[in-house]
Structure 1
Amino acid sequence: MTMAGAGDGRRGRHVVVGVGGGIAAYKACALIRAFSEAGDSVRVIPTESALQFVGRATFEALSGNPVHTGVFADVPEVPHVRLGQQADLVVIAPATADLLSRAATGRADDLLTATLLTARCPVVFAPAMHTEMWEHPATVANVQTLRSRGAVVIEPASGRLTGRDTGAGRLPDTDEIVALARLLLERPDALRRDLVGRKIVVSAGGTREPLDPVRFLGNRSSGKQGYALARVAAQRGAEVTLVSGFTADLVAPAAVDVVHVKTASDMRAAVDKCAAGADAVVMAAAVADFRPTTLATSKIKKGAGEPDTIPLTRNDDILAGLVEARGDGRLPADLVIVGFAAETGDQHGDVLTHARAKLARKGCDLLVVNAVGEGKAFEMEDNDGWMLSADGSESALEHGSKALLSSRVLDAVGGLLTPRTG
């Protein structure tokens, strides 16, 4: 199960969706639909146990292709070989403890495990099981074996399991599985486990500065880029804390601790607290530069008493504050600090001119710059831009998913982290 021969993320790929025999098997239906609606050719390969939860007819209706579980169906086509050879992507969801074990030991006793042995494309396992099963040494060893062979085993979410149980082992959200799987088509090594043991703080979303009980100053940030950064960092092994302002109803990434904040002041307090024990801080949030000087205690009415102007007070610069705290010893000297900047060109210079000046002012290690405007960056699914480094180097970030940009940024962060000793 190596990453060789992966595609580049274009639609119309051959996707194999394997379904293990767990209660989360019904969620595979949404996954199949997502790939099909994106224009991919989908073949569903359930285990016999999976068919106890979801019927064969459902999988066939959603995929538009026949569904088999054994190697003796349609023998002339040799499906256990052909399906793996033709696949651009294999996604196993849910991946039960039993299925992980059989895959790790190279079993080939049904169509799904046989297909795994012939696949030479990205293979993604999305585990779903009770916490005790996920944390059992046997499962831990099986996951490590699969990862060592190049397969991606994504971290499960935490939450409600079967019965009254809650904890780690919940199948991640469908959109998250799709985003991670498509990232591997864009870049096969994007989820390598190079951040294990590292603590990374990511800020995301917009802040809102209240004017009165019903109005606020805010911005158009959806939070998608920051959430993508947190998601990719966690899947690369980091311990991630996401300080989240307001977002477009985003689901918390799996295996990420989320701290919700409202105002710029709230965000600064949360980031400062979390940064104290971190290896890196990535400030992707769109923090309001100003707040109303006075907060009205009741709704400001039109007409009589309506203010002619609204005085504003500048908010603290969180990014510059982190750099200052690192310089005077309040934060570790080797803390990697990354800023994000949304820029537009004007009569004084283009986007990069303003970005270089901002990097010099802020003093951070890396500055990721997005050109913003109608149809760019904010609220969009894709992104691009430039990455500027304190050492003077600059690199373009190619257009692609926000997960792809996240992987490039995390590459640079990893290159700046102080090597571990011992």
Structure 2
Amino acid sequence: MKNFLSARLSAMMFLQFFIWGAWYTSVAVYMTAEGMETLTHWPYTVNPIAAIVAPFFLGLVADRFFATEKVLGVLHLLGGFVMLLVPQFSSTPVAFILLLLLYNLCYMPTLGLANSLAFHNIQSQEKQFPLIRVFGTIGWIIAGLFVSFVLKALVTDGRLPEQTPMPIYTAAVASILLGLYSFTLPHTPPPAAGQRVSIRSIVGLDALQQLGSRPFYVFLVSSFLICIPLAAYYNFTQLFLKATGFQNIAGTQTLGQMSEVIFMLLMPLFFARLGVKWMLLVGMGAWVLRYVLFALAAPDTIFWMIILGILLHGICYDFFFVTGQIYVDKKSTPEIRGQAQGMLVLVTYGVGMLIGAQVAGNVYNSFLNGASDLTLAQWQQFWFIPAAFAAVVMVGFGLLFNDRVERAPVTAPQATTAEQ
């Protein structure tokens, strides 16, 4: 029965991230093909805007009035139907972008809801959650392969599948399927049902007050700050790979998700040996090392350094984002679990990534200065900037974060750390 429950939660995570991977990495190509080449930054702007709104929805609705699986199902159904409409407005850019905003307003709260549902129905966060969450990464990889190979076979007019609306329709259909599937997931009642609704609870201040401590504030501020340099990777790695001569850019980047799967499976072992603080520090350090490798590789296009930098994605993402989710859950009470996860989404995927995208874009444009691409020497200077920023955040976190309880004895690779 326990394995069956894990399989059900794993399927939820698979579809959750298959949806995101199907459209997020291809919509800019589609917009360019439809004459919206000057507007391709907008999907990556409305996404973090929706992440900022998500905690307000989670704190008001998911924690108080409706079962988590029902809210998850309704949001995915609504999002799927909105996504079906998006390609119909490709000739009207304002409507196209507004529909993407509406879709993201449906989707982004489901990240916190899926985590909250999974945490509610498992006994050991460190041992069970990484094994469930890894199927989200697999879903993202399968989505990319599906777009590149399966949809490519269906395109008969010579266009790339990314230049067609097919990836968007794929995301829409998968969203509707997950919406229906969500109603079959374990019943997860609203943990704060019957409690008085207040502005403090809606904006997550109640959760922050209960979680509030110096170590938690250090974690939250560090999470926000580290996401500013992190945004440079998501925005500009594809352009960097093109400039350094890579031909199969999308395929090369999937190496990062493949390493993510490996490290996700190894997370229980690392938790037992390292604890939360050192997991987070290693994750931050991996981001610094990645950017340094990119910078050192740029002038002479040293391919192995670039590949190694991409392969570090497993450590970069798993050790920072997934560890952060587990840390927040371990610090939370059942009554504020949804609010707490939503707050983390706001700080990282929302405000941090939004500011980071704008900062990275302005830095890139200052190097570009009217040219069509950066020179290799300019790419080196560009990557050293987020490397230095991330290094400062990492050092500050290492010096200021100290949240310990007695560590349980480690007797097997699956043993659970008690350090937070």
TM-score by length of 1: 0.23
Q: Which structure has more helix as a fraction of its residues?
A: 2
Structure with more contact order per residue of length (Cα contacts < 8 Å, sep ≥ 6): 2
When you count strand as a share of all residues, which structure comes out higher?
A: 1
Rg larger in 1 or in 2?
Answer: 1
